[in-house]
């Protein structure tokens, strides 16, 4: 399915592949490894949901086969190819909690820490890459990078205050970071009890 979409995008975009079109493939989760470089070549965004990997890992090999796992939830391969990606939760299918998405992207483990070392661990992202995928890169993918996605003067102040730095705590602690408050447009909308 992803190859068919890539082929159609290549036909339609043709010489315009280098423009700032920001087209994407949503759920770019099972892609043939030979097709992953095509995302960067066509200027396409790979939109992925990290918690899908940890939800799907118990049955993915049985349904996809070992060979196709090489392109399954292949976040590191996408990053190394130069492709842009946007990360999300796919709420309400998965939890909207961004801490769980960061945890899944960084560890590729379920909340019990299984499997040890992570599922297909060579495809893990760093905490900084995952955070960027959920924030500034997701905003860029939706043409809203001049409004949201970064804590910068002039942008909307949409943010959460946490009791720990997600870029410096051990990855196993990411789901347990406590939200102290949530702010939208500079206004507090959730204070922790």
pLDDT of residue 45: 98
Indicate if the alpha-carbon torsion angle 18, 24, 29, 30 is positive or negative: negative
Q: What percent of the chain has pLDDT over 90?
A: 98
What is the distance between the alpha carbons of residues 191 and 139, in angstroms, rounded to a whole number?
Answer: 25
Name the pLDDT band for 41 (thresholds 50, 70, 90): very high
Count the alpha carbons within 13 Å of 91 in the hemisphere toward its beta carbon. Answer: 9
**Mean pLDDT of all residues in 140-163:** 96
Is the separation of the CB atoms in 179 and 160 below 8 Å?
A: yes
Residue 170 burial by Cβ neighbours in a 10 Å radius (0-12, 13-18, 19+): exposed
Q: 19 pLDDT band (50/70/90 cuts)? A: very high
Token match 């070549």: residue?
A: 41
**pLDDT above 70 as % of the chain:** 100
Phi, psi (degrees; rounded to nearest 5) at 91: -60, 135
Give 117-137 pLDDT, tens digit per residue.
999 999 999 999 999 999 999
The set of residues, in sequence order, having a beta carbon less than 8 Å from that of 136 and lying 6+ positions away, is 145, 149, 150
């Amino acid at each position: 399915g992803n190859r068919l979409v890539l082929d159609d995008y290549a036909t339609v975009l043709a010489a315009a592949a280098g423009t700032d079109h920001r087209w994407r493939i949503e759920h770019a989760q099972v892609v043939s490894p030979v097709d992953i470089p095509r995302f960067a070549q066509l200027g396409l965004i790979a939109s992925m949901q990290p918690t899908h990997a940890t939800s799907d890992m118990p049955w993915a090999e049985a349904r996809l086969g070992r060979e196709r796992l090489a392109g399954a939830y292949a976040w590191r391969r996408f990053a190394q190819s130069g492709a842009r990606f946007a990360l999300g939760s796919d709420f309400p299918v998965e939890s909207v909690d961004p801490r769980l998405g960061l945890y899944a992207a960084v560890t590729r483990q379920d909340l019990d820490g299984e499997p040890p070392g992570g599922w297909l661990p060579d495809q893990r992202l760093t905490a900084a890459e995952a955070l960027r995928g959920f924030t500034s890169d997701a905003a860029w993918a939706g043409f809203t990078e001049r409004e949201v996605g970064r804590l910068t003067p002039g942008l909307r102040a949409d943010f959460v205050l946490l009791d720990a730095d997600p870029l410096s705590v051990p990855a196993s602690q990411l789901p347990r970071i406590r939200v102290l408050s949530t702010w939208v447009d500079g206004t507090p909308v959730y204070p922790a009890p």
